[in-house]
């Protein structure tokens, strides 16, 4: 769907083969654990050539610059390191498409799910228990900060690429709508569902404020949670080509289809 924004937002023209596409965001955008690895990408980025940005760029014949990176936060998209420029620096006036998924790491979403899924003896260790409590109890303040961060990130992208279509993709649904799926306890499951809902609301609001398009992958994947018959994400299990609570190949293909459908919609809302 296309989310309305400021009335004076620039019109984005149709995409053409060879147009510049920048992809950024966290492991849900990078495709952590999905083979093959993006050629030449840093191993720590866990960047897959099968992530949704690659699938979209391949389908449309776009010139992709993929700066997605596992573990990144929305706040870090504006920050350069000693070894790498800020991901938003990849965007220029020549960019015609930006896709982005981020925010989950800012509020501790993946960290809580991972820690809460550890075997009970490990969860009972004082450092693990203390960290889990800190993340769960401090989420309200992190959401307030995330809202401000989104405005900074999307505003920067807008200013660097005024003619680009900016597509914000939220997180795939991980948990079933009710019950307590093993290995999570009831408190962690309730926290994760609440946090997922809030991520969707905050992400959609940021897209609307800045005149970006929204792909609500969370809504599209409600019947494709990790415990469904046709999952788009992994449950908590370890194995080759598997990162717990992250998209599988089917999920990445589904997101790519959603992005392509959005791009085929009416043009002019950036």
Q: Is residue 47 part of a domain?
A: yes
Q: Is residue 268 part of a domain?
A: no
Q: Is residue 169 part of a domain?
A: no
Q: Is residue 6 part of a domain?
A: no
Does pTM surpass 0.75?
yes
Residue 202 has pLDDT above 80, yes or no: yes
Q: Is residue 207 part of a domain?
A: yes
Residue 3 has pLDDT above 70, yes or no: no
Residue 125 has pLDDT above 90, yes or no: yes
Average pLDDT, the chain: 93
The total number of structural domains that make up the chain: 1
Residue 6 has pLDDT above 50, yes or no: no
Q: Is residue 122 part of a domain?
A: yes
Q: Is residue 168 part of a domain?
A: no
Least confident of 11-15, 108-112, 218-222: 11-15
Q: Which residue has the higher pLDDT, 106 or 10?
A: 106
Q: Is residue 167 part of a domain?
A: no
pLDDT in tens, 140-158: 999 999 999 999 999 999 9
C-alpha atoms less than 13 angstroms from C-alpha of 131 in its C-beta half-sphere: 15
CATH code for the domain of 140: 3.40.50.1110
Average pLDDT over residues 66-81: 96
pLDDT score for 237: 82
Cis peptide preceding 183, ω within 30 of 0 = yes
Domain containing 134 equals: 20-162+175-263
């Amino acid at each position: 769907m296309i989310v309305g924004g400021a009335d004076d937002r620039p019109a984005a023209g149709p995409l053409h083969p060879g147009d510049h596409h920048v992809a950024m965001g966290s492991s849900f955008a990078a495709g952590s654990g999905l083979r093959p690895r993006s050629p030449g990408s840093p191993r720590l980025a866990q960047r897959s050539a099968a992530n949704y940005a690659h699938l979209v760029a391949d389908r449309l014949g776009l010139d992709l610059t993929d700066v997605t990176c596992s573990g990144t936060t929305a706040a870090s998209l504006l920050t350069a390191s000693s070894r790498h420029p800020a991901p938003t620096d990849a965007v220029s006036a020549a960019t015609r498409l930006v896709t982005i998924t981020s925010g989950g790491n800012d509020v501790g979403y993946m960290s809580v799910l991972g820690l809460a899924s550890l075997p009970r003896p490990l969860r009972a260790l004082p450092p693990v228990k203390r960290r889990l409590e800190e993340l769960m109890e401090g989420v309200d303040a992190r959401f307030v900060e995330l809202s401000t961060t989104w405005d900074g990130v999307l505003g920067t992208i807008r200013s660097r690429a005024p003619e680009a279509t900016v597509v914000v993709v939220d997180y795939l649904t991980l948990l079933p709508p009710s019950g307590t799926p093993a290995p999570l306890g009831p408190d962690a499951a309730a926290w994760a569902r609440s946090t997922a809902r809030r991520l969707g609301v905050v992400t959609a609001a940021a897209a609307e404020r800045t005149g970006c398009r929204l792909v609500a992958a969370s809504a599209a994947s409600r019947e494709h949670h990790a415990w469904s018959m046709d999952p788009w994400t992994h449950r908590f299990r370890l194995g080759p080509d598997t990162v717990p609570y992250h998209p599988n190949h089917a999920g990445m293909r589904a997101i790519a289809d959603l992005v392509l459908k959005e791009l085929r919609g009416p043009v002019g809302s950036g």
